[in-house]
Structure 1
Amino acid sequence: MKFTLRRFANKVRPVALALIGYVCLVLFVSKEQYSLNKQIERMLVRVRALQSEQAKLGEIQERFVVDINKTDHNIHALDAQIEQLVQHTKRYNLIFMGIPESENEDLTDAVRRLADESMGISIGEKDVEYAHRLKGNGTKPRPVLAKFARWKDKTRILYRRKSLPPEFAVEEDLTEFQMMKRRKLMMLANKAEAEGRRVRWSGKILFVDGKEIKLSDKVT
């Protein structure tokens, strides 16, 4: 009997050990799985937090884009207002080239005499508010900027400037933006003429083949 029990115990022992090992392995794997699940849960929490932060950053970026667009629009609107003000201050001005320089010169009188003697336009003493020399590029005589009290006096001189002797010239006092637009129109006019198209100017307005050519009024 003792021999039978011993034989049975010897046979059962490996199975019991294997079962105990399996149970231990299951417990170990379960513990590791639990730990892994906890790590995954923490990672998911972090991922959700990152996604939330990303969404918030996206909203902030959209607000920044809107603010930048508003700022850009406001800047262009302000630039346009400044341009209009500068154009208004220059509206009654003309620039005269060729008036000889002299000591103690009276430039308002020089402008009046040039208009009278060369263009047959009589300008009263008070019709020229002021006149002064501009900074030249090293050549003399330096240009003279004159501001007229009346719009019609300025326009009369512009219309008759072709009657001036060749050593004299008269130009409008334009802003940088106006000069840029004029240069673009001149380039378009030259290109159209080179292509054999009909080009006509009506004051400052350019017509090509009977169609008015317009440029953007946006200040850049």
Structure 2
Amino acid sequence: MLQSIPEDLSRDAWLAASWKQTWETAGPSRILQYIQDPGDGNDVEELIAKDKRSSSKLSEIDSEVSIVAANIRSFLPKLDYLEGQSRRNNIVIDGIQESGNESWAQSEEKVRKLLSDKLKLTGIEFERVHRTGRSTGERTRPIVAKFFRYKDKVRVMEKAKDLKGTNVYINEDYTDVVRQKRKELIPAMKAARERGDIAFLRHDKLIVHPASQRPRSQKSDT
């Protein structure tokens, strides 16, 4: 669009050029309307002014959208932190056989049996135990167990290594964001281990101890 009259153009020439540029983008319906009712000759100037106002409004909207998007991005880490805190007392158990139409009570009983028989843990109270994910009948869904007390969860996680070789696995209930970060770190962790280093994931961080600097003991969660 021609924003101002160039010095080498007369007003009529400028209007003609603006008219051409405006109508090239006006669309068939607007052109037909002009043919049927050309008006008093001020239509081009009116369209140009209207287009300027529209462009200004769009610019304002773009600016507002950018501000909103920036605010959302700044809140995402906080939301993920809050979600992580809500999962603090949770564990996820994979590998416990699922029954048809299994109830929450049945899921809890299976978890209690696992803890008592395999990990020798009793007296643990749960707030809720249930399968997660959509039931398709093609695979065994994991169980999410939420403890009343965080210290009970710690007891279970400390004994989870005793399930090695049973095809049952107990893990932290991470948020989607943390799970994705851990997934992305796995190749680097494997590469470090191939070099002979001690490498493991802790929450959403990769911890690596060079083989020459191995500590006597190091706790990991993977």
| TM-score when normalising by structure 2 | 0.58
Shift of 1:209: 5.5
> Is the Cα–Cα contact under 8 Å of residues 189 and 200 in structure 2 kept in the other structure?
no
Which consecutive residues of structure 2, in runs of 5 or more, have no partner in the other structure?
1-8, 19-44, 211-222
Shift of 1:190: 2.3
Shift of 1:208: 3.5
Q: Which structure has the larger Rg?
A: 1
SS of equivalent residue, structure 1 residue 160: helix
Kindly indicate whether residue 67 of structure 2 is the aligned counterpart of residue 97 of structure 1: no
SS of equivalent residue, structure 2 residue 145: strand
RMSD of the TM alignment (CA)? 3.6
Q: 1:43 to 1:175 in 2, by over 3 A?
A: same
CA distance in 2, matches of 1:67, 1:167: 52
Q: Compare relative contact order (CA 8 Å, sep 6+) and give the higher one, 1 or 2.
A: 1
Residues 191-206 of structure 1: matches in 2 within 5 Å? 191-194=191-194, 196=195, 198-201=197-200, 203-204=202-203, 205-206=205-206
SS of equivalent residue, structure 2 residue 141: coil
Cross-structure match for 1:40: 10
| TM-score when normalising by structure 1 | 0.59
> Is the Cα–Cα contact under 8 Å of residues 97 and 169 in structure 1 kept in the other structure?
yes
Residues 156-206 of structure 1, C-alpha deviations (whole Å, 9 max, x = no match) = 212221101513211222222121111011122124445x37342263331
CA distance in 1, matches of 2:157, 2:57: 56
Q: 1:43 to 1:112 in 2, by over 3 A?
A: same
Q: 1:193 to 1:129 in 2, by over 3 A?
A: same
Shift of 1:47: 8.5
Cross-structure match for 1:117: 117
CA distance in 2, matches of 1:168, 1:137: 20
Residues 99-141 of structure 1, C-alpha deviations (whole Å, 9 max, x = no match) = 34457763323322322221122233xx211212233564454
Shift of 1:93: 1.5
Kindly indicate whether residue 121 of structure 2 is the aligned counterpart of residue 151 of structure 1: no
> Is the Cα–Cα contact under 8 Å of residues 182 and 201 in structure 2 kept in the other structure?
no
Cross-structure match for 1:71: 68
> Is the Cα–Cα contact under 8 Å of residues 93 and 144 in structure 2 kept in the other structure?
yes
Percent identity over the alignment?
Answer: 23
Shift of 1:78: 4.2
Residues 1-220 of structure 1: matches in 2 within 5 Å? 40-43=10-13, 63-102=60-99, 106-124=106-124, 127-134=125-132, 135-136=134-135, 138-139=137-138, 141-164=140-163, 166-194=166-194, 196=195, 198-201=197-200, 203-204=202-203, 205-208=205-208
Q: Which of the pair is proportionally richer in helix?
A: 1
Which consecutive residues of structure 1, in runs of 5 or more, have no partner in the other structure?
1-38, 211-220
> Is the Cα–Cα contact under 8 Å of residues 199 and 206 in structure 1 kept in the other structure?
no
Shift of 1:72: 1.0
SS of equivalent residue, structure 1 residue 167: coil
